[in-house]
A and B are shown apart, each in its own frame.
Chain A
Amino acid sequence: GAGVSQTPSNKVTEKGKYVELRCDPISGHTALYWYRQSLGQGPEFLIYFQGTGAADDSGLPNDRFFAVRPEGSVSTLKIQRTERGDSAVYLCASSLNSLQTQYFGPGTRLLVL
């Protein structure tokens, strides 16, 4: 079946601009996670949704980062006033529920110039 998909696969933006990154989880998965991966590092947790609500947003680095999942399926990660330090691969994962294995998408590579 279809896995987790993320769009766009690559995004180049200028410092100070606003970006949105989209995640389509595996159908029927209620839990959805966002991670960020900088070059040479392992992924770092950002936020986790159970259904429509953010169950844990402790990994969001500051208030420029926000994520939504209004209908409990697709999620959008929003970054305001982007900075060069936001450049990274943003990964999305989903699981049947919070107790089950997480499956990752291919990621969105964000470059802030």
Chain B
Amino acid sequence: DAKTTQPPSMDCAEGRAANLPCNHSTISGNEYVYWYRQIHSQGPQYIIHGLKNNETNEMASLIITEDRKSSTLILPHATLRDTAVYYCIVRAGDDKIIFGKGTRLHILP
């Protein structure tokens, strides 16, 4: 079973920041937080991952709480192309990915 809990869906206005929450209260010390997204009819796309510290790349920022029990993926300026299902995953270094149902993000024009 997936070790993460995400809201089933969210809306965000185009041009605004999209903040996607994820709870992972049973995360272990050696498990990373990964985010993928899946645009309709495509394979999952890697976005970002982190262990303890906040991370930023060209796609998004990842904010992990100090106790590591939750995290937030931030898309700073959402566009219509960001409409997708976003998956939050916890994964030990050499483990397979266990996907939950993710959050369906709708970007509103």
Q: What's the minimum C-beta distance from B87 to chain A, rounded to whole angstroms?
A: 6
Q: A41-B101, A42-B87, A42-B102 are in contact. Are A104 and B94 (CB under 8 A)?
A: no
Interface string of B7-23 (1 = CB under 8 A from A): 00000000000000000
Q: Secondary structure of the A side of the interface?
A: loop
Which residues does chain A contribute within 8 Å of B45, judged by CB atoms?
Answer: 104
Chain A residues engaging chain B, CB cutoff 8 angstroms: 4, 33, 35, 41-45, 48, 56, 59, 91, 93, 98-99, 101-107
**Distance of A104 Cα from B49 Cα, bound (Å):** 15
Interface bracket on B: 10 to 19
- In the complex the two chains form, is B96's CB within 8 Å of A104's CB? no
Q: Footprint of A on B, CB under 8 Å?
A: 2, 34, 36, 42-46, 49, 87, 93-94, 96-102
4 smallest beta-carbon distances between A and B, as pairs: A42-B99, A104-B43, A98-B94, A99-B93
Q: Which of B34, B44, B100 is the one whose CB lies under 8 Å from A104?
A: B44
| Interchain CB contact under 8 A, A45 and B46 | no
Closest beta carbon of chain A to B107's beta carbon, Å: 20
Do most interface residues of chain B lie in helix, strand or loop, or is the interface mixed? loop
CB pair B94–A43 under 8 Å, yes or no, is: no
Q: In the complex, which residues of chain B have a beta carbon less than 8 angstroms from the beta carbon of A33?
A: 96-97
Most buried by B among A4, A99, A102, A103: A102
Most chain B beta-carbon contacts within 10 A, residue among A42, A56, A101: A42
Query: Within the assembled complex, what's the spacing in Å between the Cα atoms of A106 and B101?
Result: 19
9 contacts between A and B (CB under 8 A): A41-B101, A42-B101, A43-B44, A56-B96, A93-B44, A101-B34, A104-B44, A104-B46, A107-B42
Return B2 CB to nearest CB of chain A, in Å. 8
Q: Report the bound CA distance from A106 to B45 in whole Å.
A: 10
Cβ of A107 and Cβ of B43 under 8 Å apart?
Answer: yes
B94 touches A91 (CB 8 A): no
Q: Which of B43, B96, B98 contacts A106 (CB 8 A)?
A: B43
